[in-house]
Copies of this chain bind each other. A is one copy, B any other.
Amino acid sequence: MVTGSYEGRQSHIPELKTPAIEVFENIYSRADYEIHFEIPEFTAICPKTGLPDFGTIYIDYIPDQWCLELKSLKEYFFFFRDIGIFHENVVNKVTEDLIACASPRFLKVRGDYNIRGGVKTVVEREYRRK
């Protein structure tokens, strides 16, 4: 049984325009190496209850030509503070935005959310360039 209204409220998410993330040149691009970020103060709005959600976003990536610039990445995440978005969609949206701006060789995004209604949720997506 499907709750149609969910889908309706969130179907615009893949196209939602988010702030640009700056990149800088990877001067060691001849080698594969992994960069890991933890953003422990992520907050967005639950589209169902209107109440704030909190969590930590983890990013692992192997850069190709471009590295993610940290300050603009932070501003990118601040954008979600007033956005109504499900846990599952945050991780998918971030994954696709990071691929679009930095074309990494590998990327993994994990959203680890605080307990809500007695349930803890973690969502993780992994991407490997072919």
Contacts and interface: CB of A to CB of B under 8 A. Distances in A.
Interface of A: 1-3, 6-7, 10-11, 13-14, 20, 22-28, 31-41, 43, 51-52, 54, 63, 66-67, 69-71, 73-74, 78, 81, 88-89, 91-92, 95, 114-127
Contacts of A40: 114-115, 118, 120
B28 A89 contact: yes
Nearest to A39: B119
B118 A74 contact: yes
B27 A7 contact: yes
Contacts of A25: 2, 6-7
Contacts of A10: 27
